[in-house]
Amino acid sequence: MNDIEIFGNTQRGLEFIRETKQKRFSLSLVISYTATSEIPGITIAGEHPELIKFTGPADAEFIHYGYCKSISVIPMTPDGKPTPALLTKSALEAASIPSVAINAGSKVSPKLPFIDMNLDYGKNIKKEPAQNIDQVGKAVEYGRIIGRFLGASTDCLIIGESIPGGTTTALGVLEGFGIKGLVSSSMPHNPTELKIQVVREAIERLGSNDPFEVVAQLGDPMIPTVAGMLSTASEVSKVMLAGGTQMAAVLCFAKSLGFDGKNTAIGTTSYVVEDKSANLIDTISHILDVPILAAKLKLAKSQIAGLRAYSEGFVKEGAGAGGASIACMLKTGIDADGLLHSAESEYVKSLDCD
Amino acid sequence: MNDIEIFGNTQRGLEFIRETKQKRFSLSLVISYTATSEIPGITIAGEHPELIKFTGPADAEFIHYGYCKSISVIPMTPDGKPTPALLTKSALEAASIPSVAINAGSKVSPKLPFIDMNLDYGKNIKKEPAQNIDQVGKAVEYGRIIGRFLGASTDCLIIGESIPGGTTTALGVLEGFGIKGLVSSSMPHNPTELKIQVVREAIERLGSNDPFEVVAQLGDPMIPTVAGMLSTASEVSKVMLAGGTQMAAVLCFAKSLGFDGKNTAIGTTSYVVEDKSANLIDTISHILDVPILAAKLKLAKSQIAGLRAYSEGFVKEGAGAGGASIACMLKTGIDADGLLHSAESEYVKSLDCD
């Protein structure tokens, strides 16, 4: 496993790797929406502002079909940087890892069968509470039910997310819980100032530091859903939280519900870990003693400019890409060169479908 | 496994038992609706006509929570015969078998997270086509996607159904495919004449014997959904179709799509197999060479009149009860006496919750 780096508690990281090597994995992609993403300049997700709401559904569709149904092309920036769902898809395919989409407040339903949490999408936290307390409670309860099912159905449940604007709500929740840590971004010049400004305005509404109030005011529907899933799935299987600082926000909330980090690792890409503006490792260490596994992807070596861009600070992670890459390596023994090859083939295939 | 009887191909039945003993099981309950159920006298499901549409959701909720959320009491006939979901719940619980609900055209959404197929409910086949051909195609396609995921997540996928009025649409599909066989009923005096009359009227609309046309005209959304699930799940795991003649209709349609019976068994209760008016074994034998496993339940011995009623010709099966009972015996070694004990406890618990 030379292409997986361990950060945080090395001992626990090695244990996680040993106990999941060659085992069964499955991936659940939690798609959601926060109207916070509509603040100009806050996210690169979606080629055009009116397409932002299709990001989650399109990621879910891409992972299933290898192309998108809700929009005519793969979610891509104007200059051809594809969604990280492409990395997720190619890694899952190379390792025959099954996946399922979970709709936790997406504004648009994906065009495939999905697990429905029956949640509203999150409001713009700059202007108003993201969601009411009851919805947070329901997301946790429904998350617990589905986490129990999915955890019992695998040896290691990978939980990824796709929610444009989600790093800002993650920052909000982290700040609300008193964790100082900057968040990662899909853009190389992280619009940190803008995000901090949004969170500062939102946090003024905070009436108490009750965990449900924090997530209701500052979060999004993905965070309590994944926290609920984590709490039950980790009782019966390993759980890999696939993502960067958004999963830090999930851990923070889960901890407030009594979760102790059992059977859990963060799975991400080295690009997120290396992101100076985010400092994921430090942030996680202030929350819970869970190991961080990072896939050392070799996208810098790619023939394809859109894939090289990941290594240059764009996109970095999302849609479970890091976790799926790690799982692929753990299950099959494929290395980062093999993953790159699969991703390039998938990229070429996706262009053919246009 | 003294309390599991094998009918049909004994050799294959023994193989199925050997290969699933002590293995992982999971159950998916496909809930659906056909307006055919609104024809007076056709079904006993639901205490009152206006409650029929809650039957599927209430069964799904009962299996998850041990009580129902959409209605205030467990679905029960006026004189206290409970839904077979009670048997399903107690068997799953006794064996720690995870379950998930699939909404394939239920008129009402259940109050729990579920896999959504985004299908319309079926129309009354006495009056009009059940669904259009496109919906049948979509149900198969979505079924295939979800069957692939669920099959890859277990050693044996149990597929149950809850669709009031579904035996009439099953009869329609069987007749449409040229299989003569009467269908089982939730009532001791099977209203066979009424069902045959409904099917006779519906079959007059049939323009061709194209399988999709047959299911569109005479079926319901459950049948193509389960046929799709079966076709992919059986590629990677064992599949137990939990039900009586409704699963015969599924097999019939799946066969027309190229399914050969691989890795599949019917799992039901001895009450269905013994139902003279249905003749399940003979019907199945005319379709595909799949073994039929029947749980020899001992409900006649119960202290509780509502449970004894099953052995007297009421209810008999539904909501995956037979399949879940067999799976519980296979996974844990519990016998029919143990199952009865669990069901009685569950019954008493469910009354406490009222």
Q: What is the pLDDT of residues B208-226, one digit of tens each?
A: 889 999 999 999 999 999 9
Q: Which residue of B has its CA nearest to A146?
A: B113
Per-residue pLDDT reduced to its tens digit, B178-189: 987 665 555 556
CB pairs under 8 A between A and B: 68
Token pair of B216, please? 């569109």
Q: Is the pLDDT of residue B3 over 70?
A: yes
* B222: closest CA of chain A, how far (Å): 14
Q: Which residue of B has its CA nearest to A24?
A: B153
When CB atoms are compared, the residue of A24, A98, A148 closest to B149 is A98
Q: What ipTM, to 2 d.p.?
A: 0.85
Q: Is the pLDDT of residue A174 over 80?
A: yes
Compute and round to an integer the Cα radius of gyration of chain B: 18
pLDDT bucket at B282, cuts 50 / 70 / 90: confident
What average pLDDT does the segment A242-264 reach? Answer: 95
Q: Is the pLDDT of residue A283 over 70?
A: yes
Per-residue pLDDT reduced to its tens digit, B301-332: 888 887 887 777 666 678 999 999 999 999 99
Residues in chain B within 8 Å Cβ distance of A103: 116
Cα torsion B215, B220, B223, B224: sign: positive
* B98: closest CA of chain A, how far (Å): 5
CA–CA separation, B71 and B328 (whole Å): 28
What percent of chain B is modeled with pLDDT above 70? 88
What percent of chain A is modeled with pLDDT above 90? 64
* A337: closest CA of chain B, how far (Å): 27
Whether A98 and B146 lie within 8 Å, measured CB to CB: no
Supply the pLDDT for residue A44.
Answer: 66
Q: Is the CB of residue B26 less than 8 Å away from at least one CB of chain A?
A: yes
Best of A23, A149, A158, A331 to mutate (most B CBs within 10 Å, chain B)? A149
> Which range, of A67-76, A288-297, A300-309, averages the lowest pLDDT?
A67-76
The larger pLDDT score, comparing residue A102 to residue A208, is at A102
Supply the pLDDT for residue A43.
Answer: 76
- Angle B222-236/B133-152 helices, nearest 10 degrees? 30
Supply the pLDDT for residue A5.
Answer: 93
Supply the pLDDT for residue B185.
Answer: 57
Per-residue pLDDT reduced to its tens digit, B84-122: 888 999 999 999 999 999 999 999 999 999 999 999 999
What average pLDDT does the segment A84-105 reach? Answer: 94
Average predicted confidence (pLDDT) for chain A: 89
Q: Is the CB of residue A116 less than 8 Å away from at least one CB of chain B?
A: yes
Q: Which residue of A has its CA nearest to B63?
A: A145
Residues in chain B within 8 Å Cβ distance of A98: 148-149, 152-153
Q: Is the pLDDT of residue A46 over 60?
A: no
Supply the pLDDT for residue B354.
Answer: 44
* A223: closest CA of chain B, how far (Å): 16
Using the 8-state DSSP alphabet, how is residue A82 labeled?
Answer: B
Q: Is the pLDDT of residue B142 over 90?
A: yes
B145, A64 Cβ separation under 8 angstroms: yes
Cα torsion B69, B75, B78, B80: sign: negative
Sequence-separated (6 or more) residues with CB below 8 Å from residue A308: A299, A300, A302
- Angle B336-352/B321-332 helices, nearest 10 degrees? 120
> Which range, of A11-20, A278-287, B282-291, averages the lowest pLDDT?
A278-287
How many beta carbons lie within 10 A of that of residue B206, not counting itself? 17
pLDDT bucket at A245, cuts 50 / 70 / 90: confident
Q: Which residue of A has its CA nearest to B155?
A: A153
Supply the pLDDT for residue A328.
Answer: 96
Statement: the pTM of the whole predicted model exceeds 0.95: no
Dihedrals phi, psi of B241, to nearest 5 degrees: -80, 110
The larger pLDDT score, comparing residue B252 to residue B43, is at B252
Residues in chain A within 8 Å Cβ distance of B152: 26, 96, 98
Dihedral angle, C-alpha B273, B275, B281, B287, nearest 10 °: -120
CA–CA separation, B58 and B56 (whole Å): 5
Cα torsion A168, A170, A173, A178: sign: negative
Using the 8-state DSSP alphabet, how is residue A54 labeled?
Answer: G
Average predicted confidence (pLDDT) for chain B: 89
Q: Is the CB of residue A348 less than 8 Å away from at least one CB of chain B?
A: no
Supply the pLDDT for residue A72.
Answer: 63
Compute and round to an integer the Cα radius of gyration of chain A: 18
Range with the largest mean pLDDT of A105-119, A316-330, B272-286:
A105-119
Per-residue pLDDT reduced to its tens digit, A338-349: 998 888 888 888
When CB atoms are compared, the residue of B100, B145, B153 closest to A26 is B153
What average pLDDT does the segment B16-41 reach? Answer: 94
A122, A215 Cβ separation under 8 angstroms: no
Token pair of A155, please? 């040896």
End-to-end CA distance of chain A, in Å?
36
Supply the pLDDT for residue A189.
Answer: 64
Beta strand extents in chain B (DSSP E only): 4-7, 25-31, 99-103, 114-116, 156-162, 238-242, 264-269, 292-295
The larger pLDDT score, comparing residue A54 to residue B149, is at B149
Dihedrals phi, psi of A221, to nearest 5 degrees: -70, -20
* Angle A175-A176-A182 from CA coordinates, rounded to 5°: 15
Supply the pLDDT for residue A65.
Answer: 86
What percent of chain A is modeled with pLDDT above 70? 88
pLDDT bucket at A354, cuts 50 / 70 / 90: very low
Sequence-separated (6 or more) residues with CB below 8 Å from residue B207: B213
Whether B114 and A116 lie within 8 Å, measured CB to CB: yes
Q: Is the CB of residue B177 less than 8 Å away from at least one CB of chain A?
A: no
